């Protein structure tokens, strides 16, 4: 892995990204991560991480990341969609920010990104308990061909999740009989949400996504206000006609809503724009982007600072952002209002 990583970095890769909440990344231990970080550090590239936990073990996950970076002498870290997930973890924000600030004071350039919404989104299978949580989507769907396994998983979900939990889970996209139910809460779709989850995964495990409520607005606003926080959608912008499924509304609104929040908070247009342009370009060493200057790509957006905002939501996830006049890619128009 170290050899392959070094070859990729030599060929121009920006850095290494790890997703430690998901299969198979979740099986990587601290020693493996540190070994790979050393390769990244040797070439002065960046390590971006989806933390092993963004909720119950948020602080431990941050400590794991920074301890590995110290051992590897790695100086550049990006934390993907930084959050405090779950009401029980909202009070960890001060300790989490202290860990980040301490690392920055030590000379580790820590940056974060955040989408300005309170519902996250990922594969529905991420909620599965016990041994099911260690399986990939293909294996899960294969096992659910058995009626006995379906019943066992539904029982495990009922045991692991309180009835109130299902009021916080929103179906985003799937195929089959529930393909038109995107945007609806699972508890509203069925009197037996655990069985509904099993049915969805048995039909389309890899393609079924859900949004999960459980973030704190005050914490989100504190994170967005950090001068080392940039906007990130954490989503793919699917075709507007939903021919490839439904995206989380952040796909179409995250960047503009982030800018709206910064404009409302400070009124400083230059600072708000820099968060979405110069900061990510500097963080990921994109020499051709991030500012308007001779010799750089003419990738430009013209917007109305009084109108710019996200306009999408659970019911209309693909609604275009507000306040955009036009966009240019390498000097060519790709969008006009």
pLDDT tens-place string over residues 145-159: 999 999 999 999 999
- Half-sphere exposure in the Cβ direction for 171 (13 Å, CA): 28
pLDDT tier at 237, thresholds 50, 70, 90: confident
Q: Could you identify the residue written with the tokens 């957006």?
A: 301
pLDDT tier at 243, thresholds 50, 70, 90: confident
Evaluate the omega torsion of the peptide bond into residue 24 and state whether it is cis, within 30 degrees of 0. Answer: yes
Of 92-101, 231-240, 317-326, the one with minimum mean pLDDT is 231-240
- DSSP3 helix / strand / coil % (the chain, rounded to 5): 45, 15, 35
Q: At residue 83, does pLDDT exceed 90?
A: yes
Q: At residue 236, does pLDDT exceed 90?
A: no
Two structure tokens written together for 283: 């963080």
Burial of 235 (0-12, 13-18, 19+ CB in 10 A): buried
Q: At residue 282, does pLDDT exceed 90?
A: yes
Mean pLDDT of 27-39: 97
- Better-scored residue on pLDDT, 200 or 236: 200
pLDDT of 178? 94
pLDDT of 53? 96
Q: At residue 245, does pLDDT exceed 90?
A: no
Q: Rounded mean pLDDT of the chain?
A: 96
Q: For 311, phi and psi rounded to 5 degrees? A: -120, -5
What share of the chain in percent tops pLDDT 90?
97
- Rounded CA-CA distance 330/246 in Å is 29
Two structure tokens written together for 278: 């110069």
Mean pLDDT of 243-256: 93
pLDDT of 87? 94
Judge whether 41 and 9 are in contact, CB under 8 Å: no
Q: What is the DSSP string of 176-202?
A: GGGGGGTT-BHHHH-S-HHHHHHHHHH
């Amino acid at each position: 892995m170290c050899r392959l990583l070094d070859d990729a970095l030599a060929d121009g890769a920006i850095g290494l990204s790890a997703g430690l909440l998901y299969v198979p990344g979740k099986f990587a231990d601290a020693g493996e991560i540190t070994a790979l970080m050393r390769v990244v550090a040797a070439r002065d590239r960046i390590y971006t991480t989806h933390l092993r936990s963004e909720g119950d073990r948020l602080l431990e996950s941050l400590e794991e990341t920074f301890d590995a970076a110290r051992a590897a002498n790695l100086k550049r870290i990006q934390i993907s969609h930084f959050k405090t997930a779950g009401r029980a973890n909202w009070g960890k924000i001060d300790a989490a920010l202290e860990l980040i600030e301490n690392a920055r004071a030590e000379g580790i350039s820590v940056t974060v990104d955040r989408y300005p919404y309170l519902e996250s989104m990922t594969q529905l299978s991420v909620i599965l308990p016990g041994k099911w949580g260690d399986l990939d989507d293909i294996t899960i769907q294969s096992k659910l061909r058995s009626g006995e396994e379906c019943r066992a998983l539904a029982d495990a979900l009922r045991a692991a999740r309180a009835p109130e939990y299902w009021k916080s889970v929103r179906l985003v996209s799937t195929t089959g009989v529930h393909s038109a139910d995107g945007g609806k809460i699972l508890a509203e779709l069925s009197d037996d949400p655990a069985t509904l989850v099993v049915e969805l995964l048995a039909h389309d495990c890899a393609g079924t996504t859900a949004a999960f409520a459980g973030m704190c607005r005050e914490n989100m606003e504190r994170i967005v206000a950090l001068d080392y926080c940039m906007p990130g959608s954490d989503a793919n912008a699917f075709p507007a006609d939903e021919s490839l499924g439904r995206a989380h509304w952040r796909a179409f609104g995250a960047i503009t809503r982030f800018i709206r929040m910064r404009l409302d908070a400070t009124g400083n247009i230059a600072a708000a724009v820099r968060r979405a342009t110069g900061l990510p370009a500097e963080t990921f060493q994109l020499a051709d982007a991030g500012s308007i200057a001779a010799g750089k790509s003419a990738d430009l957006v013209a917007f109305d600072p009084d109108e710019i905002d996200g306009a999408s939501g659970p019911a209309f996830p693909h609604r275009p952002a507000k306040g955009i006049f036009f966009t240019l890619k390498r000097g060519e128009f790709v969008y006009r209002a």
